[in-house]
Chain A
Amino acid sequence: MGILVNKDSKVIVQGMTGREGASHSRAMKEFGTQVVAGVTPGKGGSDFEGWPVYNSVAEAKAAHGANVSIIFVPPAGAADAVLEAAHAGMPLIILITEGVPTIDMMRAVQEVKALDAISRANGGEGVRLIGGNCPGLVTSGECKVGIMPNKIYSEKGRIGLISRSGTLTYEAAKLLSDAGLGTSTTVGIGGDPVIGTTFADVLPMFEADPDTDAIVLIGEIGGADEEAAAEYIGKHMKKPVIAFISGRSAPAGKRMGHAGAIIMGNVGTPESKLAAFAAVNVPVADTMPQIMDMVKKALNIQN
């Protein structure tokens, strides 16, 4: 099971015929994901390595009953691709693209949220955007809609993983797997300042997932998403959550690779995040291997 995606998910790839889109379409297929079609405006009607290519998301969705779209469109067209998928009624949209202008993301996120509300008010399943600038998501052993290495997600486990960083997610997933814990679903929410889905949006899904026993949350400096997550955990979560904060030694005012990873004034400091987690008794690991010990302790697993 896991959350958001599973073996029944039908995935289309916006930008399949581009370099990134092509290589990750292949990797997702290898993983076992049901990649059903590609969308590249202007190339509709053609075939790409056995996949049918359509001019629009609406056509691809109608033809294949797709319920997830993953976007590899370059930055200038990325927000438009999100809106196309959202207006086509795609319930889950994953934006991988890095470097999308912030204003485009603000507008897209606002519109997606409005469409989500309308869909839900009419009894629909809603519209959710994950990312941009994210590695995507994967339910181990079932379905990968993203760019993470296949190998570390082949075995099912029972730990939910949410992260703002790509490579650090892989690192954590590998450590969890090596420790015999493994991951249920991994969600990379993205490193940009304005993203479609935050920690606090994903936590309730893990809380409700019968296949997840505990959650590992990998945050970083900048913004206040970790603080919002801590507040949610304090009020609503029964399952244990273990946190990790990356960039604790970064200086203020400097952007650390991720556009969202910047400390501005008193907002986004590691101290504020550590205090927020401490206030709701969420253990914060100082190093990545320590995460495994904390998870085991929380679940009463003997070494």
Chain B
Amino acid sequence: MKLHEYQGKELLRQFGVNVQDGKVAYTPDEVRTIAREYGQAVVVKAQVHVGGRGKAGGVKFSPTIDKAFENAEKILGMDIKGLTVNKVLVTKAVDIDAGTEYYVGMIVDRNVQSFTLMACAEGGMEIEELAAERPEAIIRHRVDPITGLRPYEAREVAIRAGFKGNLNKIADMMVKMSQAALARDAVLVEINPLFIDADGTPLALDTKFEIDDNAMYRHKDLLDWRELEAEHPLEIEASKYGFAYVKLDDGNVGVLGNGAGIVMTSLDVVNRAGAKPANFLDIGGGAKAEIVYNAVKLVSKDTDVKAIFINIFGGITRADEVAKGVIQALNEGILTKPVRMRIAGTAEEEAKALLAEVNSPLIQMYPDMFQAAEAASRDANSAGEAK
């Protein structure tokens, strides 16, 4: 679960990290009130779950109260990479020239089977850009998942990264960030920029915080922060059914199968057949007719989808159950797009018999995944041309 900047700051503050606090506002009037209260220059920052807010014009320095109001009017309601801004964080502005900006972050790193702490003396830049342009500028250090980052390690990393300032205070901030990451099941925490003022004191100006979805059961206090409207509507519906579903851009073939690997490969096969997958949908193992019915219903709602490719390898999933689910969708008039499927394994013959009974041109079974994918791709592409 991705957190907003203000939420990430709240969590870090709870662990003692010195953060540049601010207040959240939903209207330009609220922004004006906050700016007046602060009585100094402020920064108005869009709170949306995407990177690159600054470049998109979602972060504005506001030297006066009127300017803060004006900027809030511009930012609230604006569209950043497809997401509408409906709240902003108003913080006291900091004179960046009176200090230095650094980067620190921790990320789940499968290569070290733990967290990697990253530190860089060039703050304010997106770490992805930095990693691509000047990877040698980033200091990396494996954090022990049991002990967390210890002060001596933090000092060592800060020294290697070339951080200037109060070494103990900087190390302390990194240790506290690590404590927050471990206690809150983070998969990613960033303090960027980490601002060090003229006295050498560190201050977290901006943060990123993302929590492991598998661990949400032990962070129920944060469930209120989950913003479903920020996700694709079909992804929200899919999560209600417990499906692993990802909406893909510019696709025309709906894809569903049993198992992440088989669905990933199904996407590849559709691509090779000359069409584009419109989604990833894993219905899981042992799926019953009702689950298949729900999956077909979900994919049918996607207006991008012109044909559906179902790829099932039956181990614990029965082919006849899959067929029953598809037939139910057809009988209820939900299924209006051609379904091209390949179901291998258990109860294949029963499935064929059920489909023969229905005898609808909308549902066809194929002996292998390539033929089924090719048929679905052909149908989807020709439906596009017919328009």
Contact = CB atoms under 8 A, between A and B. Distances in A.
A251 interface: yes
Given A167-B313, A170-B315, A174-B344, A102 B260 contact: no
A171 B131 contact: no
B351 interface: no
A266 B182 CA distance: 26
B58 to A, nearest CB: 19
Contacts of B185: 101-103
A167 B259 contact: yes
**Centre residue among A104, A221, A250, A257 by max chain B CB count within 10 A:** A257
A168 B265 contact: yes
Interface string B123-159: 0000010011000000000001110000000000000
Contact of A148 (B146, B262, B315, B344): B315
B282 interface: yes
Q: Return the 8 tightest CB-CB contacts between A and B, nearest first.
A: A165-B261, A167-B259, A257-B260, A149-B315, A168-B261, A106-B145, A247-B264, A101-B215
A58 interface: no
A16 to B, nearest CB: 18
A191 B261 contact: yes
A224 B116 CA distance: 15
Contacts of A194: 108, 110, 113-114
A282 B218 CA distance: 44
A223 B313 CA distance: 26
Interface stretch (B41-49, B199-207, B266-274, B376-384): B266-274
B358 to A, nearest CB: 26
Interface string A29-70: 000000000000000000000000000000000000000000
B315 A265 contact: no
Contacts of B132: 265-266
A254 interface: yes
A256 B280 contact: yes
B28 interface: no
Interface of A: 75-76, 99-104, 106-107, 109-111, 147-149, 151-152, 163-171, 174, 191, 193-194, 218, 220-225, 228, 246-251, 254-261, 265-266, 286-289
Given A107-B145, A166-B259, A260-B110, A255 B131 contact: no
25 contacts: A75-B214, A76-B217, A101-B215, A104-B215, A106-B115, A107-B146, A164-B261, A166-B285, A167-B257, A168-B259, A168-B264, A170-B315, A222-B110, A246-B268, A247-B264, A247-B267, A248-B271, A249-B270, A250-B267, A254-B246, A257-B260, A258-B261, A265-B132, A287-B272, A287-B370
Interface of B: 108, 110-111, 113-115, 128, 131-132, 144-146, 182, 185, 187, 212, 214-215, 217-218, 244, 246, 248-249, 257-265, 267-272, 277, 280, 282, 285, 313-316, 344-346, 368, 370
Contacts of A259: 214
Contacts of B110: 193-194, 222-225, 260
A127 to B, nearest CB: 15
B261 A169 contact: yes
A151 B315 CA distance: 9
Given A223-B111, A265-B131, A103 B215 contact: yes
B212 A102 contact: yes
A255 B246 contact: yes
Contacts of B344: 171, 174
Contacts of A260: 110
B339 to A, nearest CB: 19
A110 B144 contact: yes
Contacts of B277: 249
**Centre residue among B187, B261, B285 by max chain A CB count within 10 A:** B261
Given A110-B144, A174-B344, A247 B265 contact: yes
B315 A167 contact: yes
Contacts of B263: 256-257
A111 to B, nearest CB: 7
Given A106-B145, A256-B263, A266-B132, A249 B268 contact: yes
B150 to A, nearest CB: 15
Contacts of B145: 103, 106-107, 110
A288 B373 CA distance: 14
Nearest to A270: B268
A9 B269 CA distance: 39
B258 A110 contact: no
Contacts of B215: 101-104
B261 A251 contact: no
A256 B246 contact: yes
A293 to B, nearest CB: 14
A165 B259 contact: yes
A298 B312 CA distance: 30
A194 B108 CA distance: 9
Contacts of B280: 250, 254, 256-257
Contact of A168 (B214, B262, B370): B262
A298 to B, nearest CB: 22
A165 B260 contact: yes
Nearest to A193: B110
A225 to B, nearest CB: 7
A220 B146 contact: no
Contacts of B267: 247, 249-250
Contacts of A251: 248-249
Contact of A103 (B212, B260, B314): B212
Contact of A99 (B214, B259, B316): B214
Given A168-B261, A265-B128, A257 B282 contact: yes
A242 B346 CA distance: 28
A76 B285 CA distance: 21
Nearest to A169: B261
A164 B265 CA distance: 13
